[in-house]
């Protein structure tokens, strides 16, 4: 019997959030299937229970909960007539509604509470279990454990405002973390960022337990990355070199946010020439099935016959800048 989960996505980019979860669960062999897509709310089924360490990796999912009851009925009294009881062991609980709709939230919460043993303690501030209910085309009840923290809030501790060294063009921590998750890299496996800058991608990868290597043409950026990693208690291999140094290294995936122009540390090389040279080197070093996840302002310059485009996501920054997140695989 398959497990079902309700994922509440952040509103920044629901398409990226949906695929981050699906790709990560697929890579981790949970055989995920998207059952319902309500925009910011999605329902996914998996072949087994999702481990807490995998939940922790998610960057675009605000909360994930295990669905224990569904109904196609509209009347709450009729819906809950079909629910016998909710067994949460001896844990404390609170009942919450996910988003507002036509339901009477107070009445619904009371009726759901009657399905829980009176031996269980109600704890509104810090419950061990949060019992959630949500209605769209179907009615759902799901359980969220208090230790099921995703990376949605956690990665904001790594925001540039909290780092000792930063660049104004540094990639947002949630984007960086999602990119790492889309790269199909396991814990303790080597991940390579050949344009590491101040280390935003490396920080998220290290936080998830990956073995990280960063390369940057500018010595100052390498020192900044070292300082930022040290600030968070992370370790990594940092190299001051052209990205061609990648040919001397072993890795499971490449995740990077290349410079956008001469002012952004290309070393005077035209950005299109830089991308052509880098893609040629990357595809030679990547093995079949390994991934390159890259953030660029112009996706048209990221093309190579040996790299298959799997996904493209647009992330609007401001009126003059949109980042395109491209997921490519060596064919």
Local confidence pLDDT in tens for the 331 residues of the chain: 899 999 999 988 999 999 999 999 999 999 999 999 999 999 999 999 999 999 999 999 999 999 999 999 988 889 999 998 999 999 999 999 998 666 678 899 999 999 999 999 999 999 999 999 999 989 999 999 999 999 999 999 999 999 999 887 788 999 999 999 999 999 999 999 999 999 999 999 999 999 999 999 999 999 999 999 999 999 999 999 999 999 999 999 999 999 865 444 556 678 888 999 999 999 999 999 999 999 998 999 999 999 999 999 998 877 677 889 999 999 9
Report whether CATH 2.40.30.170 matches the domain 3-145: no
Residue 314 is encoded by which pair of tokens?
A: 């647009």
Strand residue runs (E) in 203-261 = 211-216, 237-240, 253-256
Long-range CB contacts for residues 310-319, cutoff 8 Å, separation at least 24: 311/19, 311/23, 311/182, 313/13, 313/15, 313/16, 313/19, 314/13, 315/12, 315/13, 315/16, 315/172, 315/175
Residue 238: name the closest of 229, 26, 7 by CA.
229
Where do the CATH 3.40.50.150 domains begin and end in the chain? Answer: 153-330
Residue 129 is encoded by which pair of tokens?
A: 């279990």
Where do the CATH 3.30.2130.30 domains begin and end in the chain? Answer: 3-145
Q: How far apart are CA 30 and CA 49, in angstroms?
A: 8
46-84 burial code (b ≥16 CB/10 A, e <16)? beeebeeebbbbbbbbebbbbbbbbbeeeebeebbeebe
Q: How far apart are CA 253 and CA 184, in angstroms?
A: 7
Helix (H, G, I), strand (E, B) or coil at 196: coil
What pLDDT score does 261 carry?
Answer: 55
What pLDDT score does 102 carry?
Answer: 62
Helix (H, G, I), strand (E, B) or coil at 288: coil
Strand order in the sheet with 139-145: 33-37, 41-46, 3-9, 61-71, 139-145, 129-135, 93-97
What is the value of pTM for the model shown? 0.93
CATH fit for domain 153-330, picks 3.40.50.150, 3.40.50.720, 3.40.50.920, 3.30.1330.10: 3.40.50.150
> Mind listing the pLDDT tens digit for each residue in 3-60?
999 999 998 899 999 999 999 999 999 999 999 999 999 999 999 999 999 999 999 9
| Residue-level length of the chain | 331
DSSP 208: T
DSSP 191: E
> Mind listing the pLDDT tens digit for each residue in 297-309?
899 999 999 999 9
DSSP 108: H
């Amino acid at each position: 019997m398959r497990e079902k989960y309700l994922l509440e996505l952040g509103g920044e980019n629901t398409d990226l959030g949906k695929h981050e979860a699906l790709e990560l669960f697929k890579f981790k062999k949970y055989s995920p299937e998207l059952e319902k897509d309500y925009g910011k709310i999605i329902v996914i089924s998996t072949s087994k229970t999702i481990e807490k360490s995998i939940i922790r990796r998610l960057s675009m999912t605000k909360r994930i909960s295990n669905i224990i009851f569904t109904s196609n009925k509209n009347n709450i009294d009729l819906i809950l007539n079909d629910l016998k009881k909710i067994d949460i062991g001896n844990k404390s609980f609170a009942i919450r509604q996910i988003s507002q709709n036509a339901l009477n939230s107070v009445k619904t919460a009371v009726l759901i509470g009657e399905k829980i043993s009176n031996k269980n303690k109600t704890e509104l501030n810090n419950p061990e279990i949060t019992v959630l209910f949500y209605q769209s085309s179907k009615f759902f009840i799901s359980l969220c454990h208090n230790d099921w923290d995703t990376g949605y809030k956690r990665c904001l501790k790594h925001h540039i405002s909290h780092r000792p060294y930063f660049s104004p063009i540094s990639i947002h921590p949630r984007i960086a973390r999602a990119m790492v998750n889309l790269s199909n890299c396991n814990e303790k496996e080597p991940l390579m960022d050949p344009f590491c800058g101040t280390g935003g991608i490396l920080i998220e990868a290290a936080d998830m337990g990956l073995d990280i290597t960063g390369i940057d043409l500018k010595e100052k950026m390498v020192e900044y990355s070292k300082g930022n990693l040290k600030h968070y208690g992370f370790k990594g291999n940092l190299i001051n070199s052209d990205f061609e140094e990648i040919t001397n290294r072993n890795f499971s995936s490449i995740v990077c946010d290349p410079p956008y122009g001469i002012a952004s540390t290309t070393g005077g090389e035209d950005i299109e020439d830089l991308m052509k040279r880098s893609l040629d080197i990357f595809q030679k070093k990547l093995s079949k099935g390994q991934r390159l996840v890259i953030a660029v302002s112009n996706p048209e310059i990221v093309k190579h016959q040996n790299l298959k485009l799997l996904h493209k996501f647009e992330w609007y920054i401001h009126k003059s800048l949109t980042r395109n997140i491209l997921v490519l695989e060596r064919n």
